[in-house]
């Protein structure tokens, strides 16, 4: 894509492929014999989830949630509205939330609290990216792809104004 808004590469497609395969292997080992229920957070986690589930060697169920954060465009407020909820109850299931990026962590903290109240057997997070400098809550994903610097990231599911999700690598947004 030839677009001046696409800045330097933060994570290459080769590194994404390699790390997603590693995470798939680790999750397969650790959830072996357990009833894995993966929840993809729309829309950003779609590419990550699609690649991750293909790299699993165990069976799993997949569902999606859509949430929107109240607040400004660039800063999340921690007050989250559920736009699309799960189709089925998660009580007694081993739930793994699949997120694109943990920025302040407020969205994920809200989601964790909401889902924990539904009594899953376990509840963990697998995030592709974190920005450690921005984290405002005490939360660390059990499974993590990459730490990135404090830049606005686009590509591999992540958008800016709903664009750039289809880039096959993660780039910084210019400007
Ligand atoms: P948080 O509540 O501040 O952790 O924000 C989480 C959500 O904001 C993520 O799930 C993304 O949808 C969005 N977000 C945060 N940082 C970025 C970024 O660098 N690029 C694209 N989306 C982002
Ligand atoms: Mg998101």
- Residue 134 DSSP class: G
Which residues have a Cβ under 8 Å from the Cβ of 76 and sit 6 or more positions away? 69, 103, 104, 106, 107
Query: Does the C-beta of 170 come closer than 6 Å to ligand 1?
Result: no
Which atom of ligand 1 is least distant from the CA of 102?
A: 4
Q: In this model, does residue 76 exceed pLDDT 80?
A: no
Calculate mean pLDDT across residues 11-38: 98
- The pLDDT of residue 108 is above 80: yes
Instruction: Give the mean model confidence (pLDDT) for residues 136-142.
Output: 91
- Paired tokens of 40: 């993809």
- What separation in Å is there between the alpha carbon of 41 and the centre of ligand 2? 6
**Architecture, CATH, for domain 6-173:** 3-Layer(aba) Sandwich (3.40)
Write down the pLDDT at residue 73.
Answer: 60
Decide whether any atom of ligand 1 lies within 6 Å of the 44 Cβ: yes
Would you list the domain boundaries of the chain?
Answer: 6-173
Query: Please, are residues 105 and 78 in contact by the beta-carbon 8 Å criterion?
Result: no
103 is a catalytic site residue:
yes
The mean per-residue pLDDT over the stretch 92-115 comes to: 95
Average pLDDT over residues 69-89: 79
Which atom of ligand 1 lies nearest, measured to the CA of 44? 12
Q: What is the mean pLDDT of the chain?
A: 94
In this prediction, residue 77 has a pLDDT band, given cuts at 50, 70 and 90, of low
HSE, side-chain direction, 13 A CA sphere, residue 51: 22
Overall pTM surpassing 0.85 (yes/no): yes
CA of 31 to the centre of ligand 1 (A): 27
Q: Which ligand 1 atom sits closest to the C-alpha of 106?
A: 2
Confirm or reject: Cβ of 69 under 6 Å from ligand 1.
yes
């Amino acid at each position: 894509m030839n677009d001046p808004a696409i800045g330097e590469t933060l994570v290459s497609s080769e590194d994404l492929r390699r790390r997603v395969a590693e995470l798939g292997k680790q999750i397969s080992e650790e959830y072996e014999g357990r009833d894995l229920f993966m929840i993809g957070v729309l829309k950003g986690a779609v590419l990550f989830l699609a690649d991750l589930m293909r790299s699993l060697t165990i069976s799993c169920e997949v569902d999606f949630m859509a949430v929107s954060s109240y607040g400004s465009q660039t800063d999340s407020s921690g007050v989250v509205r559920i736009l699309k909820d799960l189709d089925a109850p998660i009580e007694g299931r081993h739930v793994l939330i699949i997120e694109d990026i943990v920025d302040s962590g407020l969205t994920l903290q809200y989601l964790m609290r909401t889902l924990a109240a539904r009594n899953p057997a376990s509840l963990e997070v697998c995030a592709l990216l974190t920005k450690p400098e921005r984290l405002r809550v005490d939360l660390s994903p059990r499974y993590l792809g990459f730490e990135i610097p404090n830049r606005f990231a686009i590509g591999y599911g992540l958008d800016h104004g709903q664009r750039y999700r289809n880039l096959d690598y993660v780039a910084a947004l210019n400007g």
